[in-house]
Amino acid sequence: MARSSSSSPALRLTPLERRSSISLALLFATRMLGLFLLTPIFAVAAQTLVGGHDPVRVGLALGAYGLTQAIMQIPLGMASDRYGRRPVIVFGMLLFVLGGVLCALTNDVDWVTVGRIIQGLGAVSAAITAWIADATRPEVRTRAMAMVGGSIGISFALSLVLSPMLVGAFGLSGLFWAISLLGFVCLLIAMFFVPAVPRSEADIVQASAHDVLAHRDLLRLNFGVFCLHFILMALFMVTPGLLGRLGDYNSASLWKVYLPVILLSFVFMVPAVFYTETRKVHKYALEWAVLGLAVVMGVLPWISGWFWPVAAALVGFFVAFNILEALQPSLVSHVAPPSYKGLALGFYNTAQSLGVFAGSLAGGMLVRASGPSMVFWVCAMLAVVWLYTARGFKDVRL
């Protein structure tokens, strides 16, 4: 008993670790909220823009930031190693604000694409993750990473409710101004609220891309986050218009659907996460959540003519999405060897960004070519492939 008591303080976050983890999770969540705000509403709201009736151009505008994020994620992560985390993140958030202002000032979907490309150039996810690693000891780092992973799900949940409200009150331009304001808030957090922490040069180990690409479990997790965000973005190329037609909702009132959907999903998701953590069944939680995703997407083509079944399917989708969004970053942090943990997280964030871009563009192309049902079928097949790869994941004990 004495041994347990003496060792327990080492497993607690120190005041500096707690402040750093909370402020960096808040920074990450605020930035992701700014990126997510467009997703639940843009497929409908873009119809007010020149060129906004073309699903492919809308999909490209929605996902363009994902492509430039994927390109810049690792270079900016490496720059943060050389020049420091804070300067790189401040630079990235300045680009984010600039891109948002350009989107707010235009009435053309193609210029929105340009603005989103500029926003994506400020790819600071890897730098934020590395800052968390700097600020925490290895034995509590997974807990700090889980804060960031959980913040992504919370950010998307908030975006579902806030996005239609902002568009209803201020229009699409007002939504982009709100996104730019969130970027400015991130700038303030990075400059004034995240404490400075020393970086040990001994922790910077040279690793190659081959080290990450040769690690099968990391490849599975990278493929998984690509699939998850592909499915998310493709789904929301269809969902706003579908709900609008079935339930007679406009872009300003869609929050009345999204709010109960997301609240119900949290009711089911929280016990599932608690069970996963207490029973240490992360591999099985991963498999069951992916299976749930495949089932939801496979059912949607058959029920897409009725409002309430679609709403129920969305609840199931967000239960699985939130579980996977919180679970996978922790798994990456756990299975990656310490010698290239930062590079592994960089590749993970890159795969996520590529999923955003590919899902938005493919969703728009599929809608224009074959209609919404084809989007659901493609996402279902992708989830099945993901399930097959996830079954090969080694059992882990976090």
Note the pLDDT tens digit of each residue in 217-234.
888 999 999 999 999 999
Which of the residue ranges 32-36, 89-93, 126-130 would you say has the lowest mean pLDDT? 126-130
- Both tokens of 58, joined, read 């809308």
pLDDT at 342: 65
Span 161-176, mean pLDDT? 92
8 — pLDDT class (breaks 50, 70, 90) = very low
Q: How many separate domains does the chain show?
A: 1
262 — pLDDT class (breaks 50, 70, 90) = confident
How far is residue 367's CA from residue 44's CA, in Å, rounded to a whole number?
Answer: 13
In terms of pLDDT, which residue wins out, 69 or 17? 69
Residue-wise pLDDT for 323-354, tens only, equals 888 788 778 777 777 666 667 777 888 899 99
The CATH number for 130's domain is 1.20.1250.20
Q: Is 358 contained in some domain? A: yes
Residue-wise pLDDT for 110-168, tens only, equals 999 999 999 999 888 878 877 887 787 766 666 676 677 667 777 888 888 899 999 98
User: Dihedrals φ, ψ of 207, to 5°?
Assistant: -135, 155
- Both tokens of 322, joined, read 């939130």
85 — pLDDT class (breaks 50, 70, 90) = confident
249 — pLDDT class (breaks 50, 70, 90) = confident
Q: Is 397 contained in some domain? A: no
In order, the DSSP letters of 87-105 are HHHHHHHHHHHHHHHHHHH
In order, the DSSP letters of 72-85 are HHHHHHHHHHHH-H
Q: Is 6 contained in some domain? A: no
Reply yes or no on whether the pLDDT at 4 is more than 50: no
How far is residue 315's CA from residue 261's CA, in Å, rounded to a whole number?
Answer: 5
Which of the residue ranges 166-180, 261-275, 361-375 would you say has the lowest mean pLDDT? 261-275
How far is residue 309's CA from residue 397's CA, in Å, rounded to a whole number?
Answer: 37
50 DSSP β-pair partners: 108
pLDDT at 363: 93
108 DSSP β-pair partners: 50
pLDDT at 106: 94
- In the numeric block, the tokens 């926003």 are attached to 119
CB 126 within 8 A of CB 80: yes
CB 300 within 8 A of CB 374: no
Which of the residue ranges 83-87, 288-292, 381-385 would you say has the lowest mean pLDDT? 83-87
pLDDT at 396: 56
pLDDT at 103: 95
189 — pLDDT class (breaks 50, 70, 90) = very high
Q: What percent of the chain has pLDDT over 70?
A: 89
Span 243-250, mean pLDDT? 87
203 — pLDDT class (breaks 50, 70, 90) = very low
Reply yes or no on whether the pLDDT at 207 is more than 70: no
pTM, 2 dp: 0.85
Q: From 170, 190, 265, 161, select the one nearest 31 (Cα to Cα).
A: 190
Reply yes or no on whether the pLDDT at 204 is more than 50: no
pLDDT at 53: 92
Q: Is 2 contained in some domain? A: no
Q: Is 120 contained in some domain? A: yes
Structural domain that includes position 262? 17-194+207-390
Those residues whose C-beta lies under 8 Å from the C-beta of residue 388, and which sit 6 or more positions away, are: none
Provide the 3-class DSSP secondary structure of residue 60. Answer: helix
Q: What is the mean pLDDT of the chain?
A: 85
199 — pLDDT class (breaks 50, 70, 90) = low
Which of the residue ranges 82-96, 136-150, 368-382 would you say has the lowest mean pLDDT? 136-150
For residue 391, give the H/E element and its range.
Answer: none
In terms of pLDDT, which residue wins out, 15 or 297? 297
pLDDT at 6: 41
Q: Is 247 contained in some domain? A: yes
In terms of pLDDT, which residue wins out, 334 or 94? 94
Amino acid present at 154: I
Residue-wise pLDDT for 44-60, tens only, equals 999 999 999 999 999 99
pLDDT at 59: 93
